[in-house]
Structure 1
């Protein structure tokens, strides 16, 4: 396989994978709509991600919701890395049709073409997400392994943000989430990622096309959008800090995520492209380490050497999960994947890059106001 199509290939993850594939001798085509929310209004000037790839790939400006764009993009392709998607859990809860149309509809259009037209595609890699798990795996002292349901508004309003056993309602202990854990997303975004994964694995199997699904954890690193206030806590916090604005930490600040550096994401994805052992399988991609949000804020402030108020507000968003970190033993065993970047090393690289960028306009308050108006922010 030498000709690789990356949908969403001008984005943060896609552009990094594209450059690494080019270095390995692959020919890369990118289909991307250059969304202003990510790339700005004039990508040639406002999007370093786009500029990084523009003269190195065959670039098609278009949408995964357009049949004509798919026909154009799929010509002579050996494999597809399908990353194009609307992202962000909060925004997905009120831009529902948009998320369904792009994430599910775009994937369906790709598969429909593969099922009904001549092509040479041999493998499809789909970007899934840790969001499909909702709350991850926990241990209850009475009932063993359990999967908590979405937290109650009334509990969070009273300051109780912990996850409960769905059987006895007692607090439970966090465990790493493995690929065989219960799938029960708590956001529209998570639902669309679950559907994308299921569609690709099911249809590709029937077409004798190899398929691999990657459930990415919280991806970060140099190049990610600093102007998008809807996704990426590291970008949101960085933009706040660089503008001298207060950091508003939701809940009690003890909520955790598994932050995985972009270089490790690219490495894992390319392993899935090249290794037959990955075919037909799903993999978590993370570090296997849970980092709480207070640590995130304090670490960023330390490396920026800037002091801003850090306020643990008790605010919360409906649809947010409390915790999730990955069990990555499967991808280690099958593909030999080993994360090379721990959180501290990755944050140093990320903040060093941010310090070289023009300070973006902070749109965080506007995004919060949107969620308030929709009744999703408390």
Structure 2
């Protein structure tokens, strides 16, 4: 399918720019609205690789989703809106509370308000949600069955109790894939804002008769992600520290795990949603369907990148972090025909090959931890 007129908010970011390139190659006419935030694009954002890769691929408008006049510039003629613009990162969200709410919730509300009230003939909405909406996700007790535990307490984690125990019998819980029908109880401000975003989009889409899809992305990684932003994810953080010869501090006990999904697979799933021929109002997990623990990630990156960085397990932790999560992908496979193609080994190899060709970035990781520590959010 080709020929859609698509607005991508946040289209100069890591996921957004990769998506824009794919949409352009498939014959869609793309407009990008992005504020080129320095945390993502650096001090000279118009020279950032993410921004420059859009040249000749899309109409670019520098602006903000929280500004009505900026939205009025980019919505005329658009039939599909892909809303990726958001502040990301669990840790930072726990103290930049008003800012995250204004951008993620306020920007989404304003976008929908303009569409609802100003006569723009949008036919499909797609919003980037997050695995963070689940909080801890889905677990199973051998005795008491499926459970959705609440956020872990700081008191227990200080004692080194990082894994979830059954609240009834205190047996260890087994993590199982989380499907879209699981309980939603985000444990971070970021997760709360992503849940509100998807609920706004689905509710307004349903009310206006507009197709609306929310993609709950897992931990997205791959070539193109920021290596200087300390809130962008552990692969970038660890890679930058290894290349700078800095030690790697593994939080908790190193066995916490995530569903790491390659950027190419995320783009593939999102394109399938954009081009799906039938009207839909629904939510979908997008991940690899496999869990990888943090220690494995650190050791693999160190092996591929070399260097002299030491790896230590500190037992420290951040308030708002989850223990485990892995996505159940049955629904997105059944409805959209999406299946991930890139496993963690091939994905990490592609990521590392790209990292080796990038300039070594300044490391602001300790600075970010000091900010959390000062707020009582890092123990």
Q: TM-score range by the shorter chain?
A: over 0.9
Please name the residue that 2:22 is paired with.
20
Q: 1:78, 1:120 within 8 Å by CA — same for their partners in 2? A: yes
Shift of 1:170: 3.4
1:180 counterpart SS class: coil
Shift of 1:260: 0.4
Please give the alpha-carbon distance, in whole angstroms, between the structure 2 residues aligned to 1:218 and 1:277.
28
Cα offset for 1:277? 4.7
Is residue 284 of structure 1 aligned with residue 285 of structure 2?
Answer: yes
Report what 1:240 is aligned to.
241
- Alignment correspondent of 2:5: 3
Distance of 1:58 and 1:118 partners within structure 2:
22
Which residue of 2 is the match for residue 225 of structure 1?
226
Aligned to 2:45: 43
- Aligned partners of 2:231, 2:168: CA distance in 1, in Å? 34
- For the residue of structure 1 that corresponds to 2:332, the secondary structure is helix
Change (3 A) 1:278 1:224: farther
Cα shift at 1:119: 1.0
Instruction: Report what 2:59 is aligned to.
Output: 58
1:80 deviates by 0.4
> Deviation above 6 Å: which 4+ runs of structure 1?
none
Give the Cα–Cα distance (whole angstroms) in 1 for the partners of residues 129 and 35 of structure 2: 20
Unmatched runs of 5 consecutive residues or more in structure 1: none
Question: 1:28-39 to 2 correspondence within 5 Å?
Answer: 28-39=30-41
What's the C-alpha RMSD, in Å, of the aligned pairs? 1.0
Report how far residue 281 of structure 1 moved: 1.2
**2-side partners of 1:93 and 1:55: how far apart?**
38
- Whether the 8 Å contact between 1:212 and 1:278 is mirrored in structure 2 is no
> What is the match of residue 194 of structure 2?
193
Report what 1:351 is aligned to.
Answer: 352
Give the alignment of 1:154-173 within 5 angstroms.
154-173=155-174
Aligned partners of 1:13, 1:37: CA distance in 2, in Å? 15
Output the CA distance in 2 between the equivalents of 1:242 and 1:148: 38
Counterpart CA distance in 1 for 2:125 and 2:20 is: 15
Alignment check: 8 A CA contact 1:220 1:261 kept: yes
| 2:107 is aligned with 1:103 | no
Mapping 1:309-320, distance limit 5 Å: 309-320=310-321
**Counterparts of 1:170 and 1:5 in 2: how far apart (Å)?**
49
SS in 2 for 1:18: helix
Distance 2:28 2:167 in 1: 48
Q: Is the contact between residue 272 and residue 278 of structure 1 (CA under 8 Å) also seen in structure 2? A: no
Alignment CA distance shift 1:278-1:321 (3 Å): farther
Helix, strand or coil at the partner of 1:350: helix
User: Matched residues in 1 for 2:95 and 2:362: separation?
Assistant: 23
For 2:119 and 2:167, the matched residues in 1 are separated by: 49
Query: What CA distance in whole angstroms lies between the structure 2 residues aligned with 1:225 and 1:351?
Result: 13
- Aligned residue for 1:219, secondary structure, equals strand
How far did residue 335 of structure 1 move? Answer: 1.3
Aligned match of 1:296 = 297
C-alpha distance in 2, partners of 1:118/1:282? 26
Give yes or no for contact 1:87–1:189 (8 Å, CA) kept in 2.
yes
The correspondence of residues 255-294 of structure 1 with structure 2, limited to 5 A, is 255-277=256-278, 279-294=280-295
Which whole-Å CA distance do the structure 2 matches of 1:361 and 1:69 have between them?
A: 33
CA–CA distance in structure 1, aligned partners of residues 38 and 51 of structure 2: 12
Q: Secondary structure at the match of 1:276?
A: coil
In 2, the alpha carbon distance for the partners of 1:205 and 1:44 equals 38
